[in-house]
Amino acid sequence: MPNSPSIEETTTEDPVQIGGPWRVVLWDDNEHTYEYVITMLMDVCKMTPEQAFGHAVEVDAQKKTVVFAGELEHAEHIQDLILNYGPDPLLPASKGSMSATLEE
């Protein structure tokens, strides 16, 4: 589409506040550190360190957090990036990526 932002574009707004009907939900586990979550959200969702830290706190406290809202194709892309981000190198028990689901 003409003038559509690319998936890689960054924003200073919280990605959850600018999106469409599809949400990417990140789920808590005990196999990833705050550092991993923050770095992953900055890389995948283009969040600021402050935004990523807020979502890391929320996923830890609430067991889930919505990290992206947008159109289906973009939400699927974000989910795929999360699911393929890999294990936390700081935790030997970490065997893979975090879990993320799509909700409408």
The radius of gyration computed from the CA coordinates of the chain, to the nearest angstrom, equals 13
pLDDT at 4: 34
Give the whole-angstrom CA distance, residue 94 versus residue 31. Answer: 5
Q: Domain extents for the chain?
A: 28-103
Chunk the chain into consecutive blocks of 10 residues (it has 104) and report each block's average pLDDT, rounded to whole numbers.
36 59 96 97 97 98 97 97 97 96 96
3-state secondary structure at position 103: strand
CA distances from 30 to 69, 75, 86, 98 (A): 25, 24, 15, 10
Give the whole-angstrom CA distance, residue 74 versus residue 95. Answer: 26
Give the whole-angstrom CA distance, residue 15 versus residue 64. Answer: 16
Kindly report, residue by residue over 42-66, the tens digit of the pLDDT. 999 999 999 999 999 999 999 999 9
